[in-house]
Structure 1
Amino acid sequence: MQPAQRRGLADEAADRIREEILAGRFQPGSALREVDLAASLQVSRGSVREGLAVLEREGLVQSVWHKGTHVIGLTESDIDEVYAVRAALDRLAATSAAARARTDHLDELDALVDRMAEETDAARVLSLDMEFHEVIYRAANNRRLLDAWHAVRSQVRFFQSHRIRLSRGQYRARAWGEHRELAALIRGGDTERLPGIAEEHVHSARRALVEGLAQPPKS
């Protein structure tokens, strides 16, 4: 890992560790030892401890007394819980955005879909995917809904990053088509079809991840 920059060491430590987790360099369930992280980041163990506390609030790590801190698991139960919460939030966000979105929000969604169509790197498509949903939540104009999304956002990205690694190339094509449909329905204010489509978008992602976990590893 790159050494932490002196801007606020706990936050910087959290950022660096988060990057490693989301990139798959710390595997689900793996131990995160303060002493090793502090040496890698060239900061104190106290800064690492505070950074891990940030990540625990985001749901990316879990700390257990006498067992230390670990990256969250990737079990079907974990997946079902996170995606069930996300499905409910996305349904409300999409319908609220359809009623309240400004023109600049709608244009931003369309622009992100266009960038997805042109992007060849799956990791960058995921970044656009997350940015797309961030715009929807902002367009919904509900601060508490936005806060609820931010509470699960890191976990969603964690699971989606593993979905990409397990999907064997299927993620990019599906992501573009599904987001294009969502953008069109929000722009059209189609509150009849939109709730079901928004939920199915989430459940489709959940199924793809679960199916990927069930497949034998690539040789």
Structure 2
Amino acid sequence: MSERHKVKIAKRQTVSGVTTERLRELILSGRLGAGEPLRQDELSAFLSVSRTPLREAIITLEAEGFVVNHPHRGAVVYKPTVDELLEIYEIRILLEARAAHEAAERVTPEVLRAVEGIVEEMNNAVSASKLIELNESFRHTFYSASGKRMLVEMIRNLTLRAEPYLRLLVGGPRRPFTKLEMAPLLDAIRAGDGKRAATITRKHLKKTVSGLLPILKG
């Protein structure tokens, strides 16, 4: 393979990646609503990209669960459902409680300082997007202390799948990630108390589900 060909492939992958990120943000921000068709001509013009990276972006987002391809309607934005919410969080509760338990018992001073800094940023966040971004960063940083790479990766994938649901909650009048709720978990982490960290993590995730169910059913 020639160097010129390698450069072309790398450039295409870069355009495709950027297009994926921009399209994902349009969905997560609600600018592309649940069930809305992804009209490729309009999106190509709006994003100033050709059809090829746009198609690749749609394929990626379909694999992530943000897009569904219907035989007659084509690609549409996925619509959150109660059944999927319950399934995602059932698995998250199991995995994250395990990760929190092990991470709290193995946490290093460096990781502790990092999560404390993230929580401080969370308390000062002024937008749903920033709050969700910081929440994911907190979880990934904390759970990484468990030393369980595959466990952390599975949780990260589920967290990504849960983003559309979280935006329904965080974007409304309730803000689930307040200092009041993070403080007990930080105390457990500082104490190296894995059992307490796991219990708090389960409680937090169950509370999120309780807040989302009325929204989805309403």
Which TM-score tier does this pair reach, normalised by the shorter chain? 0.7 to 0.9
Aligned match of 1:24: 30
Q: Which residue number in structure 1 is paired with residue 119 of structure 2?
A: 113
How far residue 6 of structure 1 moved from its aligned partner, in angstroms, is: 7.5
Aligned counterparts, 1:26-41, within 5 A: 26-41=32-47
Q: Quote how far apart the aligned CAs of 1:214 are.
A: 4.4
2:213 to 199, 210, 214: 210
Structure 2: distance between partners of 1:119 and 1:165: 13
**Aligned pair partner of 1:96 in 97, 102, 113:** 102
Instruction: Work out the CA distance in 1 between the residues paired with 2:183 and 2:76.
Output: 37
- The 1-side partners of 2:55 and 2:129 are apart by 28
Sequence identity of aligned pairs in percent? 28
Structure 2 residue 200 is the aligned partner of structure 1 residue 197: yes
Which position in structure 2 is the counterpart of 1:81?
87
1:176 maps onto 2:182 in alignment: no
Which digits, 9 at most, give the CA deviation of each residue in 1:97-123, with x for residues without a partner? 112222111111111222223334444
Shift of 1:25: 0.8
Cα offset, 1:38, TM superposition? 1.6
Give the number of the structure whose alpha-carbon radius of gyration is greater: 2
Q: Conserved in 2, the CA contact under 8 Å of 1:59 and 1:152?
A: no
Q: In structure 2, what is the Cα distance between the partners aligned to 1:121 and 1:49? A: 30
Contact persistence 2:185–2:197 (CA under 8 A):
yes
Unaligned runs of 5+ in 1: none
Shift of 1:7: 7.0
Q: 1:150 to 1:48 in 2, by over 3 A?
A: same
Q: From 61, 64, 87, give the equivalent of 2:70.
A: 64
The more displaced of 195-204 and 146-155 is 146-155
Q: Look up the equivalent residue of 2:206 and give its one-letter code.
A: H
| Alignment check: 8 A CA contact 1:30 1:70 kept | yes
Q: Which letter maps to 1:116?
A: M
Amino acid of the structure 1 residue aligned with 2:155? W
Q: Residue in 1 aligned with 2:132?
A: 126
Tell me, in whole angstroms, the C-alpha distance in 2 between the residues paired with 1:46 and 1:122.
31
Q: By how many angstroms is 1:205 displaced? A: 0.8
Preserved CA contact (<8 Å) 2:12 2:53: no
Q: 1:55 aligns with which of 35, 56, 61?
A: 61
Give the match's secondary structure for 2:76. strand
One-letter amino acid matched to 2:74: G
> Which sections of structure 2, spanning at least 5 residues, go unmatched?
1-10
Change (3 A) 1:57 1:164: same
Q: 1:124 deviation in Å?
A: 2.5
- In the other structure, the counterpart of 1:140 is 146
Give the residue type in structure 2 aligned to 1:33: R
CA distance in 1, matches of 2:212, 2:108: 33
Inter-partner Cα distance in structure 2 for 1:143 and 1:81:
22
Q: Which amino acid aligns with 1:102?
A: T
Return the TM-score normalized by structure 1: 0.85
